[in-house]
Amino acid sequence: MTIPSREKSPAQLFRHLSAKWPAAFNPKAPKPLRIGIHHDIRVLDGELSDDELRRVLRAYTSMPRYLARLNSGAVRVDLDGEPAGEVSDAEAASAKA
């Protein structure tokens, strides 16, 4: 029996993403994610609903450790952990606010 979507915690959803893409989703050493990474996940993962994907990415990108890494010029990564852009000055300022 599966847990209904509304009952899955961000931690459960995060475990799902980190199991599939450990190079991108690492809670101990989070890296800035590529802008639009949710589109990549949507194409490759049919298990998460749109709501689940939105919730888990919001939780992950709101973690203090993640926000602390959003420095101007920091490298963003794709699902494979490969470079995929950089954090802009405006994005860095927003993360610090």
What domains does the chain contain, in order, with CATH numbers? 9-96 (1.10.1710.10)
pLDDT at 1: 44
45, 2, 1, 3: which is closest to 21 by C-alpha? 45
Residues of the chain with pLDDT under 70: 1-7
The predicted-structure confidence for 30-43, as pLDDT tens digits, reads as follows 999 999 999 999 99
Instruction: Note whether 77 and 23 are within 8 A (CB).
Output: yes
pLDDT of amino acid 6:
58
